[in-house]
Structure 1
Amino acid sequence: MNQTQAKSGMKVISAFTVLCGLLVVPFGLPSNWAIADDKQPKLDENPAVVLDVVRLKKSDVTESSGLAVSNVGKNRWWTHNDSGNKSYLYAVDNRGKATGRCRLKGIENKDWEDMASFVHDGYPRLLVADSGNNLHKRKSIELYLLDEPNPDKKTDQKRVQVLHVTFPDQPRDCEAIAVDTERQKVVLITKGKLPYAVVYTIDLPKRNSRPAGDTEKIVAQKATTLSIPMVSGMDIDSKNGDVWIVNYFQAFHFKRTANDQKLSEQFAKLPQIYSLPNWKQVEAVAVDQQHQVWITSEGKSPPLGRLRLTRPSPTNASSTVNE
């Protein structure tokens, strides 16, 4: 092992030690996980943690496992249900009201786990990740790319790019996907019970309008590893390149400090860590055009809310700093 490798190893060990100490604190699962959906437990709306909380009522969303901010409509979000549901994307507004939906024709929802919105060559686009693989039986995962439809209408989308993605070492369970338009990469992070996650990337493909069924096979490339367990969602701030990752308890903010910074270098820095509200199961995160970070959760009439990224002033608990 040379000197550079030794220093790199010490950084990994240091990050692992610090993060493990922070992550092991919550020994139990959130208390309301054991409550049946139809009982509608009181929603945690602690303003020190989450703001602007609404429920996605009067919609068909019952297992929100992906979230993306619209680049077509103002105050619109896209989400979708988990495995075994219809191949629909659902649009909602900032009051939780359903505004539209898009059906991906010819596409199956095997285990949709995440989605992302981005602008590519001037076109607002969406990516949907059929990437769940809890039992590690799937030899490949599927990524679907499409032009973002009008979030205020009901539409059918026939033109979908289909990517069959395999991992270079072994089948992986992956619930966190994001698009890095600066580096022209799609970033994928694996999910595991131990504080160990593998980061992979693929090249962001050129936009085309081929019909569903016309597929491309791609092998992901390993980029680095992270000391975070149970990674359930990710998004990248399109304005500054910051990466946001969530698991069931916390959000991790990895800042990008230079335009030419490598992804592995960005992830080598210790992140800022934020607590999440005590919701059933946070599986999705999305960053809007004003750098605000939104999350949603599984469950009936799932909540949507904005993470509080500042803390109350110690001299005046009712005031906020830079809020």
Structure 2
Amino acid sequence: MPHHGQILRSLLIAAVTVLHFIQAAHAAEPDTLNRQRFAVHNKWLTEMSGVAASNIYKNHFWAHNDSGDRGRLFSFDSTGKAQTELRINGSSAFDWEDMSSFKDSSGSYLLIGDIGDNMMLRPFADVYLVSEPKDLRKPIIHANIKRRYSLIYEDGPHDAEAMAVDATERFVYILTKRDAHPRLYRFSLDAISGKPIPLNYLGEIRSIPSIEKHKAQRQGGISGGSPTAMEINPSGDIAMIVTLRNTYFFKRERNQSWLDALNKSPYARINNRLRQAESGTFTQDGKKVLIGSEGQPAILEFSDTPLYPNRKN
């Protein structure tokens, strides 16, 4: 029979192993005990593929459908109560895939990405800029396009579903979906108007699910790690990338580019417990994230924004 000391040592090793497993699980998915799920009560929001927080109304959000709908947005509050439908005059909706919101000294704005291209055949991708409406009392309201960005990939068409704006830099970032490794592009909010805008290719992202475990996917195909949404928090130092399986969080250090920040292993991960996670945003204060799924009704889930680990600990 084993000696009592050997048994005690074996039990201690097992206990330490279990402790490390629990710590690793909590580090990978830090907020599993603090989630709030709700449904949006709007019969027209059937295939939600983009969501963004209002910068005018606290706890209000804007969302849009995937391809097949007209050019319109839907607003709702944090309980899922529908507010209004915003129709974008003069817009087309070939394949709306993501949206962002931001504010500057001139006002609050919504940015809508008509950037989807499953067959990778489109000569242009379009992004629409509209002013966020202040009056939501009517069931249907209209907005004119403030700016239409016609974008060109200089290396040929790409399919993308992830777009984020850094209002401080005044750059919009687009992350592709069907390349072997997601490709990061950007353009300026202040690009010369009236002309097609060449997208600036920055590089590939090879950090999902981590640097060590990242693998190429089949060119033109999709996987559980394909980006379906992206967002940058209001303070401009944390980005999240939504995939079908998980949402990943990246911290940008002072004077660091977003390409470098997104190519570090994510500091946190949230498992998407939704049928088809296709959208995500930070709340107006940046303290929570909201992840949304396609389907009827549209289901969304709040989680706390994972805290960045203190490097001194």
Q: What's the TM-score, normalizing by structure 2?
A: 0.77
Shift of 1:277: 3.2
Matched residue type, 1:137 = L
CA distance in 2 between counterparts of 1:155 and 1:62 reads: 20
- The 5-angstrom pairing of residues 201-216 of structure 1 reads 201-205=186-190, 215-216=194-195
CA distance in 2 between counterparts of 1:97 and 1:216 reads: 40
CA distance in 2 between counterparts of 1:303 and 1:262 reads: 33
CA distance in 2 between counterparts of 1:206 and 1:225 reads: 23
- Pick which of 55-64 and 295-304 moved more: 55-64
Contact 2:115 2:125 in 1 (8 A): yes
Q: Does the alignment pair 1:165 with 2:151? A: yes
Q: Does the alignment pair 1:146 with 2:130? A: yes
Shift of 1:205: 2.1
Map of 1:198 onto structure 2: 183
- The 5-angstrom pairing of residues 286-305 of structure 1 reads 286-291=281-286, 292-305=288-301
- Pick which of 125-134 and 235-244 moved more: 235-244
Judging changes above 3 Å, is the alpha-carbon distance between structure 1 residues 284 and 266 closer, same or farther for their aligned structure 2 residues? same
CA distance in 1 between counterparts of 2:179 and 2:253 reads: 30
Contact 1:223 1:263 in 2 (8 A): no
Map of 1:217 onto structure 2: 196
Matched residue type, 2:75 = A
Q: 1:93 aligns with which of 58, 77, 81?
A: 77
Count of aligned pairs: 258
Give the root-mean-square deviation of aligned CA atoms: 2.2
Shift of 1:85: 0.5
Matched residue type, 1:221 = N
CA distance in 1 between counterparts of 2:101 and 2:187 reads: 16
Map of 2:249 onto structure 1: 253
- Match of 2:261, SS state, is helix
CA distance in 2 between counterparts of 1:201 and 1:58 reads: 33
CA distance in 2 between counterparts of 1:218 and 1:193 reads: 21
- Match of 1:269, SS state, is coil
Judging changes above 3 Å, is the alpha-carbon distance between structure 1 residues 99 and 124 closer, same or farther for their aligned structure 2 residues? same
Judging changes above 3 Å, is the alpha-carbon distance between structure 1 residues 161 and 53 closer, same or farther for their aligned structure 2 residues? same
Identity within the alignment, %: 28
Judging changes above 3 Å, is the alpha-carbon distance between structure 1 residues 166 and 50 closer, same or farther for their aligned structure 2 residues? farther
Map of 1:180 onto structure 2: 166
Shift of 1:204: 1.5
Map of 1:16 onto structure 2: none
Q: 1:80 aligns with which of 64, 68, 72?
A: 64
| Structure 1 residues without counterparts, runs of 5 or longer | 1-46, 208-213, 312-323
Judging changes above 3 Å, is the alpha-carbon distance between structure 1 residues 162 and 309 closer, same or farther for their aligned structure 2 residues? closer
Map of 2:272 onto structure 1: 277
CA distance in 1 between counterparts of 2:135 and 2:98 reads: 18
**Following TM superposition, where does structure 1 have runs of at least 4 consecutive aligned residues deviating by more than 6 angstroms?**
none
CA distance in 2 between counterparts of 1:49 and 1:220 reads: 41
CA distance in 1 between counterparts of 2:56 and 2:205 reads: 33
Q: Does the alignment pair 1:189 with 2:175? A: yes
Shift of 1:70: 0.1
- Pick which of 295-304 and 226-235 moved more: 226-235
CA distance in 1 between counterparts of 2:289 and 2:273 reads: 17
- The 5-angstrom pairing of residues 3-18 of structure 1 reads none
CA distance in 2 between counterparts of 1:156 and 1:278 reads: 35
Residue-by-residue CA offset, 1:240-278 (whole Å, 9 max, x unaligned)? 4311101001111111111x2222221232112423333
Structure 1 or 2, whichever has the larger Rg, is 2
Shift of 1:215: 4.5
Contact 1:48 1:308 in 2 (8 A): no
Q: 2:105 aligns with which of 121, 131, 136?
A: 121
- Pick which of 214-223 and 282-291 moved more: 214-223
Shift of 1:236: 0.4
Q: What's the TM-score, normalizing by structure 1?
A: 0.75
Q: 2:205 aligns with which of 210, 221, 226?
A: 226
- Pick which of 119-128 and 92-101 moved more: 119-128
Judging changes above 3 Å, is the alpha-carbon distance between structure 1 residues 151 and 218 closer, same or farther for their aligned structure 2 residues? same
Contact 2:52 2:61 in 1 (8 A): yes
Judging changes above 3 Å, is the alpha-carbon distance between structure 1 residues 133 and 250 closer, same or farther for their aligned structure 2 residues? same
Q: 2:231 aligns with which of 232, 235, 256?
A: 235
| Structure 2 residues without counterparts, runs of 5 or longer | 1-30, 209-224, 308-313
Shift of 1:150: 3.0
Judging changes above 3 Å, is the alpha-carbon distance between structure 1 residues 235 and 241 closer, same or farther for their aligned structure 2 residues? same
- Match of 1:136, SS state, is coil
